[in-house]
Amino acid sequence: MNWTLETLYLACFALGGGVVLVQTLALLFGGVDHSDVDAGQLDHADIGHAGSGESHAGDTGMSLLSVRSVSAFLACFGLVGWGGTRAGWSTVPALAAAFAAGALALVLVAYLFASVRKLGAQGNIDPQNAVGRAARVYLRIPGKGAGKGKITIALQGRTVEYHASTSGEEIPTGREVRVVRQITEDTFEVEALG
């Protein structure tokens, strides 16, 4: 096979366009999309225990080197390069236009998907907002940090339940407390009110 610049452009278009097509079909028909997962999105083993609900979401910034972005670069690079070659452009202008179109597609796709991620509202409650607020003891809290009890608190329009400990005396069920500080993602230190 004689590899010409036109063949290279077509190969880039076929590879990039094929990946974009497969991802689009998987997205439309319920395929799982893990193409842009990075190590930061995985749960950290050193935080809490498996049932604690603690995890750290990955960076929601713009990822230029995701599978989607690189595929868009290849598809646009190949299509514009092939079109320029077919239109009779010389090698340098066709290559420059192809590279510019690919770079524009790469940045545009990365920007669009970063914007879409920012739009998604997960409805998550930020536990840090509980600090300084009043709560009610749901399950008694052992004194002197000897164990954990549970509290319920109205937070961001919802009533939520968290683990709680105290450095003071035991706090019985039904008593009002104030949240002093956050210990872990779902555990707080509290003190009795009154």
Which is more confident, 39 or 137?
137
17: left (phi over 0), alpha (psi -120 to 50) or beta: alpha
The DSSP call for residue 87 is T
CA 164 to chain centre: 28
DSSP string of 66-86? SHHHHHHHHHHHHHHHHHHHH
**pLDDT bracket for residue 134 (50, 70, 90):** very high
Name all domains of the chain by residue range, CATH numbers in brackets.
5-119 (no CATH), 127-192 (2.40.50.140)
Distance CA 145, CA 164 (A): 9
**pLDDT bracket for residue 169 (50, 70, 90):** very high
The residue-averaged pLDDT of 160-167 equals 94
Give the tens place of pLDDT for each residue, 74-108: 999 999 999 999 999 999 999 999 999 999 999 99
